[in-house]
Amino acid sequence: MTVSMNQGAYYTGHYRNLFAEYGYNEEEIAKKVQDTWDALFGDHEATKIYYELSEDKGYLLDTGNLDVRSEGMSYGMMMAVQYDRQDIFDKLWNWTYSFMYMTEGLHKGYFAWSCQPDGTRNAQGPAPDGEEYFALALFFASKRWGDREAPYNYSQQAKDILHTCLHQQPPGFPMWNPDNKLIKFVPEVEFSDPSYHLPHFYELFALWAYEEDRNFWKEAAQASRDYIDISCHPVTGLAAEYAHYDGTPNHIRGFGHFFSDSYRVAANIGLDYAWFGVDPRQRDIADRIQAFFADKQPDDYSRYTIEGEPFEEKSLHPVGLLATNAQASLAASNEATAKAAVELLWNTPVRTGERRYYDNCLYMFAILALSGNYRIYL
């Protein structure tokens, strides 16, 4: 399963279907994708996370916290554009733009990270992972479906979001540090979250952002690949939820260990390698992560130090963790552990119950990616 450098899908137009490579047939793969979409966006109450407020507004519900998060809304938009569901995309974006977008105050131009399902804000601050997913989902929507009247002038909205992320004026704060080009955990702080780093997104921002910002995004892609490398442990491959700019864990509020946010690093490595295939370090990190989990069962997943020492506290999102580990197979070079991670995902159903939101978002992305259906639209 060796992939040559610069042979990512951006350059070749070929999206690897690891399910097919590992022996599943096209019919059952298509059914797996469809069933996963239906579980999240259909009517099955035990698995669904998409709900509609009105004929023109819908939202993804964090079923564990009973709120609506910019993270989830941006994830839902990315899923919808990948699945070619403009109707759902527009309902999600209309809800987001109507209730989360802040038009005044310290965070003008950003999106409130948490709201109630009726749109009432729980917070007036943003979370940068939402903004970066909003921007790329909107760019893809423009490429797939074309721009319409505001707020469905997708490409303009995306460019404005990215401009604000870099140039939000005092008394506000930019979301990226202008010197080291690294994304912040929130605009007001000077540390990062390794799982926020999406170099494959920044490569595309460098093509489509306002021209004066394109070089920044190109440099940010390289800076984030370097940051992922230094923030992942050299033996286990695990990264902390919060980390300083030098990659070392930031233990503020107890977030300096491998836990829920951290799971996404493996998925991001897999997708960056699948799309661009330019960083061989990602293959080694993917191998380390998969080797660490190879002898562990999902029921036993825990919070870990990045060195791999377990806490008594169990994982809140074991399905999400196994899904992201499987997505890392797009970068991995160890055939045995990569295949085992993919087979574990294939044989695990979407999660039910109150904690299902985060798990099932990560599950859906992994199913799309591993079936060759998480694509760049140019």
pLDDT tens string 10-53: 999 999 999 999 999 999 999 999 999 999 999 999 999 999 99
Same domain, 149 and 165: yes
Residue 228 has pLDDT above 60, yes or no: yes
Same domain, 244 and 364: yes
Q: What is the residue-averaged pLDDT of the chain?
A: 97
Residue 4 has pLDDT above 60, yes or no: no
Q: What is the DSSP letter of 329?
A: G
Do 49 and 335 touch, CB atoms closer than 8 A? Answer: no
Considering the domain boundaries, does residue 271 fall inside one? yes
119 exposure class (CB count in 10 Å sphere: 0-12, 13-18, 19+): middle
Mean pLDDT for 297-317 is 98
Same domain, 5 and 100: no
Q: Which of 261, 272, 284, 287 is catalytic?
A: 261
Q: Which of 135, 155, 175 is the last residue of a domain?
A: 175
Considering the domain boundaries, does residue 214 fall inside one? no
Q: How far is CA 18 from the centre of its chain?
A: 19
Considering the domain boundaries, does residue 281 fall inside one? yes
Q: Which of 175, 191, 216 is the last residue of a domain?
A: 175
Same domain, 238 and 351: yes
Considering the domain boundaries, does residue 66 fall inside one? yes
pTM exceeds 0.95, yes or no? yes
State the Cα–Cα distance between residues 77 and 157, nearest whole angstrom.
Answer: 14
Q: Which of 62, 67, 71, 241 is catalytic?
A: 71
Q: Which of 175, 210, 242 is the last residue of a domain?
A: 175
Do 15 and 9 touch, CB atoms closer than 8 A? Answer: yes
Q: How much is the pLDDT for 3? A: 40
Same domain, 299 and 361: yes
Considering the domain boundaries, does residue 362 fall inside one? yes
Considering the domain boundaries, does residue 186 fall inside one? no
Confidence of residue 2 (pLDDT cuts 50, 70, 90): very low
Residue 174 has pLDDT above 50, yes or no: yes
Which residues have CB under 8 Å from 223's CB, separation 6+?
180, 181, 182
Residue 1 has pLDDT above 80, yes or no: no
Same domain, 251 and 167: no
E strand map for the chain: 50-54, 57-60, 68-69, 114-115, 302-304, 310-314
Same domain, 87 and 23: no
- The percentage of the chain sitting over the pLDDT mark of 90, rounded to a whole number, equals 97
Q: How much is the pLDDT for 5? A: 54
State the Cα–Cα distance between residues 176 and 351, nearest whole angstrom.
Answer: 34
Mean pLDDT for 211-232 is 98
Mean pLDDT for 75-87 is 99
Same domain, 162 and 110: yes
Same domain, 264 and 309: yes
Same domain, 322 and 235: yes
Q: How much is the pLDDT for 7? A: 84
Q: How much is the pLDDT for 192? A: 98
Do 198 and 224 touch, CB atoms closer than 8 A? Answer: yes
Residue 104 has pLDDT above 80, yes or no: yes
The domain spanning residue 8 has which CATH number?
Answer: 1.50.10.10
Q: How much is the pLDDT for 6? A: 65
What is the number of structural domains in the chain? 2
284 noted as active-site residue: no
Q: How much is the pLDDT for 155? A: 98
Q: How much is the pLDDT for 99? A: 98
Question: Which range of residues forms the domain containing residue 121?
Answer: 50-175
